[in-house]
Structure 1
Amino acid sequence: MVWWRRRDSREQWKNLTTRYEKHVIWDTDTYVAYEIKVQAINDFGPGPESPIIIGHSGEDYPRSAPTNIRIRPDSTRAIIMWSPVSYESVQGELKEYRVYYWRESSKLKGLSVSREKKYQSFSTTSSKPQGTLKDLIPYSNYKLYMVVVNGKGEGPSSTTHDLQTSEGVPGPPRYLRVQERNMDTIYLDWDQPLEPNGILTGYTLKYRTVNGTKVGRMQTENFQSNITSYTLRKADRNARYKFDLSARTQIGLGEAYIVDVTQSTNEARGSKIWNVTVSPNTNYANISWTHNFPPDSTEFVIEYIDSNETVTNVTVKHETPVKLAGLIAGAKYRVRVYSREFTSVSSKYVSFETSSAYTKDQVDIATQGWFIGLMCAIALLVLILLIVCFIKRSRGGKYPDKATWKRHWHLSRLVNQLEKMYIITKRQASVSYHLKVEGTRSVDTDSDEDNKPLQGSQTSLDGTIKQPDSEDSLVDYGEGGDGQFNEDGSFIGQYTVKKDKEETEGNESSEATSPVNAIYSLA
């Protein structure tokens, strides 16, 4: 038997008898405390009751967001204060207050920033809760909002607030290059920090000589913010140096960029790096070079500069080629190689440009062989279609000329034979028609016509009439046989005259259509 009741109401106990080891109570309010106890029952009666425990109904997402948010920033931190939400609005167990924030921009014009959203959690049940955001970037504009988190998840967000950090000390310079241009001087050049963290007021260079365990006196040089190079005249040609370069703002000096020249540059005298070769691709380039350093005597630094004058250094061993990854397609770069231990030993700058994404990933279709072949095939097909259309359009015009009939003499023979059959059929149909209509004509008329020569036959030079069998001869269609053809090489006109005459004499049956026309239409 399971017993339960709401803890805050002190209502009567509700119970349920079940054979199972668990039971679900339905229709409860969100995250309400219940008193629960269990009692076993058998055939002899109920047993003792278990101790009362406290349980809660299920959670739901918080309904409210923190209010009255106040911010107290400095250069790298900000103290956040807010008013807590009510217990009922949490609708569950309060886990934490969460602050989401991101860097909107820098107060320095033209400096690009990352807008990556971050969050920081504060677990507190104080009536006046507060927390501290750390690791902020000085001289920047931030935005933030807050949410309440319980076991179910996050509640609604608060209104967005602005946060502005004050000026701080700058970061280290992007680089410091040390080059020995001759025996008596050392040339140094540098670039401003990636994060100035304020308005730069200048640079401070500190250096000293190093000779074994002996360290010389620290020397200091201050420069204006627009000075990014310095030439040091050596007091001793064999001296070794250690350089520290820091940028500064009104707040003070920032982190230093250190170059420790632990070996004399004279020890590298005679060594050189040359023949820097670049094989660019879309987003990477292979770099190779030639040098005369002893094996394993030095490491090399590949320094490449993009169009924005951003300097990137990659330290490698002497094996070549080296792949520079992460380049931008279609961008221009300058690259050089120098010794890490002997910074004065350097190659000349070599310019190169990565190939564009279009030229790598896409091909000009107009230059492809398959495309040219396809276009030629389409053009040929169109030409054939035009010829066919022209032929079909001219089918109702003149008949083929003499030369065509000579090439196709077998078709002419077939036409001649079919014409004979057509005349016989026409004659028989005419006789039947006159017998029925006039009733005066006899079959003798047909006999008279049988003695007449065919209109389609030709009279020879000696006045004799050619027999029908002679029309099967190739002589009539051979070279010089022009007797049967008209000026255009056709003999069909002789039959069409007769046909026109017969059509004017009477109403012939529509079924007696000449097969010659069908043959020529097929031709």
Structure 2
Amino acid sequence: MSTIFIVLCLPANLTLYGHARTACFACYLSFDEDRNSHKSLTDHPVSINNKGENVEEVWYFIGESVNGVSLLWRSDANVLGLKNGEAKFMCIFAGKATPDIVWKRKGGKMNSRMEVSEHGQELIIKDLEFADKGEYECSATNDVTSTPVVATFTLQVEARPYFVKEPLDVTIGVEENTEFFCMVEGIPASDVNWFINGQPINEAPPNPRRTIQKDRLVFKNVTDGDSQVIQCKASNKHGSLMADVYLNVLALKALVTEGPGKVKVAEGNSVTLKCEHNGKPDPALKWMKNNVQPLNTDRYEFTHNTVLIKDVLKKDNGKYTCISSNRFGSDNKTGELIVRKKTKVTLRPVERSLAYGEGAIFNCLATSDPSEQQFLEKLWYKNGERINNNDDDGNIQILENGDTLSIVKTSSKDSANYSCVADNKVDSDTGISQLKVKAPPDPPRDLTIKTCGNLKVTLFWRPGFDNYLPISNYVIYSKTNYDNAYKKMNELLGDVNEYEQRLSAFANYTFKIKARNQLGESVFSNITPICSTKAAIPEQHPTNVRIIENKTRKLVIEWDPVEPIDQNGPGFMYVIITQDKAGNKSSYQVTDWKTTRKEIDVGNIYKEYKVQVKAVNSKGEAAIPPLIYRGHSGMGVPTVVPGNFEVDPDAPYTHETIGLRWDTVDMSAEAMQGKFDGYKIRYWHMDQPDKEEKEEEATVESKIRRTVRLPPNSDLQLDVVARNTYFDSNGSNKINITTPEGVPGPVQSLESMYRSGHFVKIKWEKPKEENGEIIGYDIEYEEIIGLGVDKKSIPVQSEPEWVAERNRYELGVPGLELNTNYRIKVWAKTRTGRGEIEFVDVKTAPENMPTVPYILDALPAKTSINVSWQINKGDVAGYHYFVEYRKYGEHKFESGPLEKRNTWSVINNLTSGSSYEVKVVAESGNFKARSEIKLVTTAKTDEVASAVYNAEWFIIMMVVLALLILILFIVCLVKRSRGDKYHVQEKEKLRGLENDEKKTAQYNGFNDKMATWDFDELGVSFFKLKKLVIVDKVLVVPDDYDKGPLESDKDSLEEYADPDPSRFNEDGSFIGQYGAEKMTASDVAAPSAMHTFV
């Protein structure tokens, strides 16, 4: 082992382990016989004279002198290696910037067996070959030394002896010849010696039948006494090797161990008959057919144990005997050859070309020799591999005993050669077809990084299979250590397989590629190894720098972030430089790259500043000078207020617009505390002054006039303010106005409920913006012709029905044509006029089968049954409906009256206490749809009273009466607590209710006068329950309150021109016929307190 002792002394500006310049440190480099290095650096100062023992060399290095690259140490220049062994070379370089070391082979290329150590100081060649000999060099450079410092090595490769052809054991018969080979190579050349039975050949007993010929030992005409052990030994200076073999001499009679047997073959094929035999010396073999005819024509080919019969004919049927013989005797065996007709594929699969996703079918039929037909089977192969039924999860199916191969849904992987093999165990025939599936291409193969350096990368790949459509493009994707996913980098034409891309500094890149043809993209290729780039200064400074002036007495600066991939190095930060008008500069640092806003306290309002934002990292700042941006510190509240705000008497004053005017203000930056940005009109409802103000911008003029749009039918208060970009001044004097009633907005939730051939039922809700008192609705419809509509609009004369429990209106539109498109238009109206239009397009049904009715309920009385049914949204309604009924057990159904409007029907004149089967029939032209049968039993006499008490209408009426009594009690308490009286007559007069408009309420003699209550104190504006009606806060009991529910016609609907039903409740309920009408109080939406001019 050799050792080098290195002493390193530090320069004045460098410390190591905390020691100053005078300190020196020792480094031992020792090398064993295999040139493996061992290093040790002390961490304490040592004396320069302390060199230690067993040290062969001492090198001193003074820190101040090390700047460029220098060669500290190298291993031997001449290296000898052995074949299949290792060779090592080492160079140690020094430099103030760590040197980059490169190993090269002169006149040749480095290969995969040549490895460079982690730090580049050592080259190791494994599994040496003779071709590795030659010259190798290491070179080093750094930022100071641009000319490489080079060390050269010469490698010689030699070898221990090795066999090129070694001797083998031999068994022969007497009087035969043989030879043993001992071919050996090595560098230097090897000496070869023979041994017989362990003795050198020149010392063994002489044998005239044995001779040495170069690298062979030859025996001729041997006897049974020549059996012996033979050895071959080769050696050179690097080692030796030896082989032991045996010569075995025998004398055996010829013996046939296996005859031809029974063999089947098809016409036209070739067949080989085998006859295994042995003996020593080797016996001769001959063949006979049917024991009389020797085989000796050109149709036969013989080996030592076989005969090949070519192009077999039917006449080749027969017995075949093989006869083996030598000098010691003979032996034979007989077999049989059976010739069959050839198997043929008569219907072969045809070539197919199709798009992926389509199905493919191949057919195959075949014939065979009748004697072998039972064994015939058809096998399918894909590119030579056997296909099994239901392969590919059932996508590939073999049908009809192998006659058909079906691929249910093809993909690119199904492109292949498909073979149908008809096989009967004697012979076979094959039909081959090719399937070409046009599909997106296969992914590119073997994607590699060809070069990586100098902020550039070159990618190389091999095209994948195009799946029978040309590759049009390659799409390059990249990912860095800053990304969570791959991103598209570029798109190339399909005729290239190499791509160069510029990279960002200080990043680790990987890449993958997709190929594309006209049917789509491939899956991704393999992912490349990492390509790393070194740190550099940022490419550019932050962009989109803004100075925001919305913070009073602050300078607010914003910019777009510099993403990590663009920072180009560690230690990234933003540096903000500001300069006021006096030239005073300030600098600020922001070290978090995600922070893109800086607020600086400046203590002034709307003063001009210059601003620069720089990108800086550990390598420096971006080379391009940063742009200078100009702006101001934050604005404040304007100090001026508009004056003389009033209604403009010269402008029109309608429900839509009003004219306003006011005096202008001082627009200077000092007065406005910023940049003047116009005026703003604010308004709010008088009854909600605390709500958020709505506003509208006005123009900038010396004497301001402005026409604005205000919410109609409202009591409003207004003022005007001056504003800069971010702040409003104090408000001007306030003015109060009352806007006239306007027109309403569009109705809400307009849609079709259901339809028939001549009838459509629609529904809607009140407008969100009533803008006054809704006095009604206009409904029109028009036929849609092509892409337009008929100019003729037909008004609907029927009034809509208010469905209180659903807070909406419903209306049937009759008189329509079959299977026709219509547009139905709805307007809400106030006294001012129509509001905004809303419409719904609907198509009437053709004359076909209506929707089967659904029986909602069947309520029995003593001698009648009230049957109701339901028509749902989207149903095709019938032309009319009727009920079929029969007594349980009878055969014939009877029909009830036709119903064209109602969704209920009463069947009268029934027997009390009897069971009836009922069903509802919807009829439209020749079509009838019948519901399921429902079994109902009429009430007995003593059950009627019980039925009344249990009826829904009766229970609801009792609840309502209880609520009315409770309300009356509360009113009395309130009136008593106030200590005054309630004057009904005065209230009625105030509300305009004259005596002749009142109705007297009579109910079983309970009271013969009008019953009225005031609900002002309870906040009730509109309320309707059963037959009791509260209108304008006055409860009115109608004259017909005492009528029974079956006599009420409240829910009967007027006839329309079209006989279809038009005023159904949404659920088709007929409850109103048996109970008083139910309606709940509708909430009156309070108008918004504040609005925005539009």
The answer to whether the superposition gives a TM-score over 0.5 is: no
TM-score normalized by the length of structure 2: 0.19
Larger strand share, 1 or 2: 2
Larger helix share, 1 or 2: 1
Q: Relative CO higher for 1 or 2, CA cutoff 8 Å, sep ≥ 6?
A: 1
